[in-house]
Structure 1
Amino acid sequence: MLGLRISRLVHATLAGGGLALTTGCPSGGQDTDTDTDTDSTGTDGDSDDPTTTVTPTTDPPPPPPPPVDVTPPQLIAVEFIDPQILRLTFTEAIAPVDDVNPKRFRLSVGRYQKNDYYDDYRRTIYSDPEQYNHQQYCKEVCYDYGYCYYQCYYGPTLELDPLDVLADAYNPAQVVLLLTQPATPNLCNLINAISGDPERPAGLLLHYADGGAAQITDLVGIPLASFGASWVKEGNNPFMYVDDLKFPELNPFLPIPCPFEMPVPPP
């Protein structure tokens, strides 16, 4: 009968959703088991969390490649650093110029002329600076009665053609242009006399023709564009006229400062 009661009690407890079955003395005595390991997962009570996810570390993605250079270099300044040396400054570093033909460059005295009474008279004139590039010599002449004056005369004309193209020693965006002869104070006197009128711009100008292998390029091989190339191609002509236009091919228009003026002799 006792077994039947226990069986019915177990079934009743399962039907109620739980089971609390103890064994031992029927008088309610305590369990004498002294084992302190009550955690089935380990002797210290600790357990690893099986849901923990370890994320592997990865390096950041590489930066995007630099943009491809598609912009040609541009000339932004021309200046004398010596009567026989011009320094050209560009917008970016220039490739080695050892093979650049200096005949790609030519200087001119350029003037824009217009007639204030006749609108149809407007033209740009280019002339070879050689005809103005000569030394002026003056000496004082005195008469017996005490009157003195300066007698001046000009020496032979001096060519002012590009002779060689050299890399600047310090700035990769600059190039040095060596001339056949120095610019004279007489030439600078003329240049400074005709310059300064915005309605009739004038000055000593540099021209350049591109094309072929022996041309100026940037470091990735993009060539410098021509400016004033027609004057370069007219290398044997001392003059060139362009009607009704104001320096049409010279972009940029960069008159070269001419700092070697000669003082005017006293009267």
Structure 2
Amino acid sequence: MKLVKIVSLTALGASLAFVGGCQLFSVAESSSSSAPSFKESSLPGGGMAFPHNERIHLSTDQKWVASEGHLSDLIRLQWTADRAKPAISWADEKGNDKTAIVSHDKANNPEQHDHKHISIETTMSPTGENKDQLFTRLEIPYDADVAEIRTHSSNFNVMDGILRVAAEGNRDIQFAKTGKDNATTPLWSLRTNSGEKGGNSGADFNIIRYDDKGEAVDSAVTVSRSEGNVGIGTATPESKLDVNGDSLRIRESKTPASANAPGNQGDIAWDENYMYICVAKDTWKRTELKSW
């Protein structure tokens, strides 16, 4: 053990232990009880182990004030070398890593880009290619006005709840391709635009397409919030289906068996000889097609 000296401070209801140059306070059960002994950790890398089943109870009435030294930060982890990684980790009953919260500036590999993030890590499958290795599942960058939060090899599920995107401007869900150093280039976006005007107008739904450089081309599909009109190739649909183009294609042909064949009003069909329109329930009319 690295226990050098224990001084009992019964008047203060605590014992002060000097361990390898560090000092710790632990609550004593009574003025007559002996202070718990601290041991060297059996984990790789050593360190100090608290007595089994002992708890650490921290409390504060201080505010989070920078000018006063953030007196309310009851636990502060600091790196003192550029590639150090202060972490809190959890291990199973055999001492194997399972989960960790890590914050650091640079990657272990100097050839990688600077990470500058806090990450939540969990182990990979015990039967997979990277057996039992801790792997970053969620990372939140720092030193950024807008943090690009990322997940890796993770699925995101909302169970009996709402996934909400709220803003005063455009609200986007974006589909993109990845590049070097986690760079992304958008390909498609689901968007509700800004500009609510009252009367259920504005904030129309758009499907935005982008070119190879990530520049927005147009809204391929727009749905008006006020009227529910759908526009293809137009951002201002004026009918229930408004197509800004010079053709509309129905790929499959269909020949109603008779003028009273099953159908709903407004159904349209065609074959080599006729164009058919259902004008009422199970009531078809047709017009002959001729070449010229």
Choose 1 or 2 for highest CA Rg: 1
Point out the structure with the larger strand share.
2
- Superposition TM-score, scaled by structure 2 size: 0.16
Point out the structure with the larger helix share.
1
- Superposition TM-score, scaled by structure 1 size: 0.17
The answer to which structure, 1 or 2, has the higher relative contact order (CA under 8 A, 6+ apart) is: 1
